[in-house]
Amino acid sequence: MAKNFDLVVIGAGPGGYIAAIRAAQLGLSVACVDAWSDTKGKPAPGGTCTNVGCIPSKALLQSSEHYEQADKHFADHGIKVKGLDLDLKTLLGRKDKVVGENNQGILFLFKKNKVTYFHGTASFNAKVDAGWSINVAGDKPEELIAKQVVVATGSSAREFPGLPFDEEQILSNDGALRLTDVPKKLGVIGAGVIGLELGSVWRRLGSEVTVLEGSPEFLAAADRDVAKEALKAFKKQGLEINLGVKVDSVDAGKHVKVKYHDAEGKEHKAEFDKLVVAIGRVPNTQGLGAETVGLKLDERGFVEVDEDCRTNLPNVWAVGDVVRGPMLAHKAEEEGVAVAERIAGQQPHVNFDTIPWVIYTSPEIAWVGKNEQELKKEGREYRAGQFPFMANGRARALGDTTGFVKVLADAKTDEVLGIHIVGPTASELIAEGVVIMEFRGAAEDIARICHAHPTLSEAMKEAALAVDKRALNF
């Protein structure tokens, strides 16, 4: 017998589980269907973010950072380490524990908010009088009838043409998080967020890492000054980063052999123990039953939605990686909340102009709003203020003075148009920039706010002062 709900959410990643919880808070009867399982076959809600993305990668970044600090930097603090040894099994076990705790946390939140959870693969069956018929395939097949549906099926790693992932030698982000040995030589195709973060993890743990990037520009989406500073720091650490590369062939035998041309057209041959392919992601819409009910997809497989995340079908919505816009967990969460509130009759708003971007390398990279090249292209008159962490007392005490904070403000109104950070805890510092921009604040507003001393956040204040050429400590 079919089970009826006000809302069925397909997918329990950041967009899906947050949408389900918010809708339940607003009084709707809600079901959430998700197929993800852990290594023991148990339900593992949380999507790519929790299982093979944000959470496990940050756990490994933290562990690898500790290892590198002990190996190379503790001595600067008078701490001598003898017989340093890497227990990779324990390191990976900690990562898995962190992931499992997050999985269980989501299941707890479902129970707390009275969201009914189904472990299985959901697909559209038909339009019915009461709404939409959804099939759930799994250990316990179900039919659900939903007045409203939210598609939040996320994305998967894009394969290199003609080179499927085997997760043994040719690795997606999933395989790169599960290596049981530190590869002597690791190749990475793609110098985006995933490629840089995973490359950083294994470099710290002892791999020789070579990154092959097709774009002639490093981090093309970032501010040029930030990208230049980050590239310099990564190369100093030992990451070999090649730009403007055209990969000609990949042969996975005993080792992975890659032939490629560099930006000058010169041919190269490289051999790696493992190869990580991080060239973007594709939406998970196969098996959704979109064609069965006429759910419109674009030419790349994304669910087509309007600015409010409505699809072409009545009472069917879509959020997160499966729709247009940046593939960011926090963007998916904001859309999930907004859709739940729209279903409940409210009028929420998601400001895509103030969604922050973060790369969790060392140094961290974060930004919100426009960068200098974008403002120049638009012909927008602006003023820029920049402050280096080398002039920040807390950064000196931490022993990490790489990078800077840059504030961009309108030349006439002083409204903050963008904030760009490369340096320690940039991921946390950017929140102040998001808040000031959300309230359309001015650089002067940041400059007049009292920031605690000594803190890294003082660099934000000083960069805002520098917009008016009155920085106090540089």
Tell whether residue 7 is among the known ligand binding residues: no
Is 441 annotated in a binding site? The answer is no
Q: Tell me: is residue 196 an annotated ligand-binding position.
A: yes
How many whole angstroms from its chain centre is CA 426? 14
144 among annotated binding-site residues: no
d(CA 192, CA 278): 7
Q: 408 near 399, Cβ under 8 Å? A: no
Residue 192 annotated in ligand binding: yes
CA dihedral 236, 239, 244, 245 (to 10 degrees): 150
| Catalytic residue of the set 66, 73, 268, 453 | 453
Distance CA 398, CA 394 (A): 6
Beta-carbon contacts of 8 under 8 Å, excluding residues fewer than 6 positions away, are 30, 31, 32, 33, 122, 132, 134, 144, 146, 148, 149, 150
253 is in an annotated binding site: no
197 is in an annotated binding site: yes
| Token pair listed for 234 | 């990564």
- Annotated ligand binding at 155? The verdict is yes
Residue 195 in marked binding region:
yes
78 among the known binding-site residues? no
C-alpha torsion angle, residues 270, 276, 282, 284 (rounded to 10): 140
330 is in an annotated binding site: yes
**Identity (one letter) of the amino acid at 426?**
A
CA angle 30, 33, 39 (to 5 degrees): 140
Report the C-alpha gap between 338 and 332 in whole angstroms: 10
**For residues 214 and 223, what is the distance between their CA atoms, to the nearest angstrom?**
19
With beta carbons less than 8 A apart as the criterion, state whether 3 and 67 touch: no
Q: What are phi and psi of 454, to 5 degrees?
A: -90, 125
Q: Is 321 annotated as a binding residue?
A: yes
**Residue 58 carries which side chain, given as an amino acid letter?**
K
Does 451 participate in catalysis according to the annotation? Answer: no
Q: Is 426 annotated as contributing to ligand binding?
A: no
96 is in an annotated binding site: no
Minimal CA–CA distance to 320: which of 30, 53, 73? 53
Instruction: Extract the annotated binding site for FAD.
Output: 58, 153-155, 321, 327-330
Which positions are annotated as active-site residues? Answer: 453
Instruction: Extract the annotated binding site for NAD(+).
Output: 190-197, 213, 280
Instruction: Extract the annotated binding site.
Output: 58, 153-155, 190-197, 213, 280, 321, 327-330
